[in-house]
Amino acid sequence: VNKNTHWSECSRQRRDFLRLGAVSGLGLALGKVNLRTSVAADNPETSLGPPSVPPIDPVRIGFVGVGSMGNDHLNSLLRIEGVEIRAVCDIVEARVARVQEMIVKAGQPKPKGYSGGERDFERLCRQEDIDLVFTATPWEWHAPVCLAAMANGKHAAAEVPLAATLEECWQLVETAEKTGRHCVMMENCCYDRTELMILNMVRKGLLGELLHAECGYLHDTRALLLSGASRGAWRLAHAVKRNGDLYPTHGLGPVAQCMNINRGNQFVRLASMGSQSRGLTLFAEKRFGPDSPQTRQPYALSDVVTTLIQTAAGQTITVNYNTSSPRPYSREILVQGTQGIVRKYPEEKIYIEGRTKGDDWEPLAAYRAEYEHPLWKAVAERAKGAGHGGTDFIENLRLIQCLRTGSATDWDVYDAAAWSAVLGLSEKSIAGGSAVVDFPDFTHGRWKDRLPLRIVPA
């Protein structure tokens, strides 16, 4: 199938679909939803990405940032066929050496090493035998690395969040459009077993028309931030300077997929509110004493940041960010529609009108046989043992599959920009006393014609 032909065809379908929705009136609003769902389920393509990219095989990768998450990704990538690691870059020379050794042990030629300072990734991006630059650096380096990669004709993939500021979101979108390169944010939580199953339930219409969702990143990271280790220090620097939701994508990614954001729907506006900032100071005081620099250092970041997002379809999303207080881990993940509601935390539960017996939640596990996502079924066995419950393997597998077959990726630069935009927008809202702030339309109106994501079985 020629990509451009396919794009036009999809556009036409979408226009017909919108026209049908427009004349259908209130009574047919249900029909509209069902149609949307069925289009999603039948669409042979996952999404309409950047201009057609020919298949790449093998996928030759230059990897930037091989700390904890970088190692995790490399371990996954080395288990996927059609992958060659051609270059490794890190500011710590010893890490580069260790990874080079690891790659040689895995049976590949020794990749080229770069550790000549914090901008040495630019040399890596110029290396000719690389198709994809993959980065797992601190947040503030994701965008610079991706921009350098695309400027040198490489595809780019980065850990979350793809961009730390709104300006970076725009730069990435514009550069991806100009160069025709993929720019993909690696949101592993979109491939979590439960999140995939919820997406499958939504696609099959079990919840009806979606109304509301809740999600977030609720993780006591005080010990990490104040560990003194480098992987805490750069995060701590963000907490010193910024007040907003600095890590929205783990929760928002899966919810955005359920709601077809950038694919017939869009984030329209948000309002954020932040609590006092206490947790880091109290933790530092206990660990380092009242006069330690960590205790005397003021922290801008609220202990609890809550964001409300409105979508073009009218839905609401509550996004929670809660990283400086003692509490159990959660990403919330609650999706509510006209026919039922499903939640992941604190326990996986569901309520479906006409199916759930009684008035209380029932265990989500009872729906697994019927709604397990085909991708999970296909790759769960292979993903075992990989980071974050196997999701790190699946996200890499899907990326490589898409590149090798020349398909659109499961998310693209518009998704990465929309999800990452919450950092800058929530910061702006809080600075303005919870003023409502509009999302930019990174797609320039094309969100109306793009088709919903379907994650194909592997």
- DSSP code of residue 388: G
Sequence-separated (6 or more) residues with CB below 8 Å from residue 261 = 267, 311, 415, 418, 447
| 106 belongs to the binding site for its own copies (CB under 8 A) | no
DSSP state, residue 301: S
Per CB under 8 A, which region of 150-158, 173-181, 336-344, 386-394 contacts its own copies? 336-344
**Residue 450 CB: number of other CB atoms within 10 A?**
23
Contacts of 115 (CB under 8 A, 6+ apart): 89, 90, 91, 92, 93, 95, 96
- State whether residue 105 is helix, strand or coil: helix
Our finding on whether 351 is near its own copies (CB under 8 A) is yes
CB of 128 to its own copies, least distance (A): 47
Count, residues near its own copies per rule CB under 8 A: 60
How many angstroms separate the first and last alpha carbons of the chain?
A: 19
The answer to whether residue 205 forms part of the interface with its own copies (CB under 8 A) is no
Q: Which is nearer to its own copies, 174 or 285 (CB)?
A: 285
Could you count the other beta carbons within 10 Å of the beta carbon of residue 3? Answer: 17
259 closest CA partner among 195, 321, 306, 307? 195
Start-end of H helices in 354-435: 368-371, 374-383, 391-405, 413-431
Window of 59-67, 253-261, 344-352, 414-422 that interacts with its own copies by CB under 8 A: 344-352
Q: Applying CB under 8 A, does 29 fall inside the site for its own copies?
A: yes
Residue in 1, 328, 381, 445 binding its own copies, rule: CB under 8 A: 328
**Do 248 and 415 touch, CB atoms closer than 8 A?**
no
The smaller minimum CB distance to its own copies, of residues 15 and 296, is found at 296
307 within 8 A of 422, measured Cβ to Cβ: yes
Applying CB under 8 A, the span of 2-10, 42-50, 318-326, 382-390 interacting with its own copies comes to 318-326
Interactions with its own copies, residue window 234-293 (CB under 8 A): 269, 271, 273-276, 278-279, 281-282, 285, 290
Q: Does 329 bind its own copies (CB under 8 A)?
A: yes
Q: How far apart are CA 453 and CA 200, in angstroms?
A: 11
Give the one residue of 75, 115, 227, 434 binding its own copies; rule: CB under 8 A. Answer: 434
- 23 binds its own copies per the rule CB under 8 A: no
Residues in the chain: 458
Give the footprint of its own copies on this chain (CB under 8 A).
26-27, 29-30, 209, 211-212, 269, 271, 273-276, 278-279, 281-282, 285, 290, 295-296, 298, 302-304, 306, 308-310, 313-316, 318, 322, 325-329, 336-341, 343, 346-347, 349, 351-353, 359-361, 433-436
